[in-house]
Chains A and B, each alone.
Chain A
Amino acid sequence: MSKYMVDKFMRAVELSDAAVATYVADPATAVDRWLAGGASAERATDDRELTDEERAAFVARDFEALYRLGAHPYLLWHFTEAIFTHEFTPEAGWRDLVERYREAVAPHGVVDYIP
């Protein structure tokens, strides 16, 4: 388990409008491109890795799994909001996503999210 890397990927996506758009268009490709980037001569400390379970959760936009795996709650909510907003309708918008999110994470209670 690599909570730090889960948080790092969520943050990388959520901070940038372009990254959100890329991820939403094709989560699997976006995750794999992110994993393939990283450390180089210019970015010596920028390592990137995810377990198979973490990668699968990002590919599936599975916020319940990410919460269970120890994602930072604050980052996870804002990541979730960023990657589902384009699906909002007049019938099911922000409040509906909040309810879905809370119902998904509440059974897990407080999870240890310290990396």
Chain B
Amino acid sequence: MAKLVMAAATPHNPLLWRAMAEPMPDDLKPIAANFTRFREAFTQHDVDVVVVIGTDHLRQFFYDNSPAFVVGKADAYHGTWENEARTFGMEYVELEGHRELADQIVGRSVQPDAIDFSVSLEWRLDHAFVIPLQYVRPELDLPIVPVHANASMPPVPSVRRFVALGTHLRAAIEAWDSDARVAILTSGHMANDVGGPRTFAGSPDPAFDAAAAGWMRDGDLDGAIQVCSDVDRMTEAGCMTYQYLNAVTALSAMGGRPADFVDVTESRFASSPFFLWGSR
């Protein structure tokens, strides 16, 4: 049977693409070092396929048709949108899909009991998916199953659905008749308010960031559920903060056990999450 060998939660801040270049600015050296650590973890765990959980930024999915959770079933994906190439200097990429694992997750003819997924066979992946992969696997040589979790267009799924997604992913991977070694890579933020009243002024909510790092450090899934269920608290933490819940999916997939590595990295940008769970 297949194995879920590791999970990693990283930032996807597209402003890093231009800023995090040699000569490396001092404030970004810790972020670069964390991405290096994660890249080494993907190599050391001998990963064959990656489930990438991110939130499309109103590009592929919009209010005309906004699904809660989408599993990509395509054989291949184009990555990066024209506005991202323009605004962030990002590069266009091509990524290989993994149809067999996608079917294992979403069901070929009938959906699993756990989640009512949407599926997509044509999907241009935005920076939420491309940036983490480019940093943890610059070769872009591993096939992926992208999963969009709506965290930016209310109504969003409740935190318990993100937890259920994590639980389901582990079960689906472990029930897959394959020798594959699978990694989960989640993409998101700590407190973040892009476009809101505290935009681009450091973390909009250091208290949230500290608590949210603690849930990962302590394996405190209940703590995450309690606070992330409070819509007023989440709104207070910033308009894009809900993307933190992608990391809660990783925590759930790893059985709620404490992450082996936790760093919430300070820099010129809002705080950057780095959570890593390896094999034991």
Contacts and interface: CB of A to CB of B under 8 A. Distances in A.
B34 to A, nearest CB: 25
Interface residues of B, number: 28
A73 interface: yes
- B-side interface mostly: loop
B64 to A, nearest CB: 7
Given A98-B200, A105-B196, A11 B62 contact: yes
Contacts of A105: 195-197, 199
Given A78-B87, A82-B86, A73 B195 contact: yes
A3 to B, nearest CB: 9
Nearest to B152: A74
B43 interface: no
Contacts of B86: 17, 20, 82
Nearest to A81: B87
A108 interface: yes
Interface residues of A, number: 30
Contacts of A15: 59, 81-83
B199 A101 contact: yes
B195 A110 contact: no
A72 B81 contact: no
A114 interface: yes
A114 B195 contact: no
Interface in A67-115: 72-78, 81-82, 98, 101-102, 105-106, 108-110, 113-115
B201 interface: yes
A7 interface: yes
Contact of B63 (A76, A82, A115): A115
Contacts of B236: 110
A77 B194 contact: yes
Contact of A11 (B58, B193, B201): B58
A102 B199 contact: yes
B194 A74 contact: yes
16 contacts: A15-B59, A15-B83, A17-B82, A72-B58, A73-B194, A74-B152, A74-B194, A74-B195, A74-B239, A75-B58, A77-B195, A98-B199, A98-B200, A105-B199, A106-B198, A110-B239
Interface of A: 4, 7-8, 11, 14-17, 20, 45, 72-78, 81-82, 98, 101-102, 105-106, 108-110, 113-115
* 9 A-B pairs with the lowest CB-CB distances in the bound complex, closest first: A73-B195, A77-B195, A106-B197, A73-B239, A73-B196, A74-B195, A98-B200, A114-B154, A76-B195
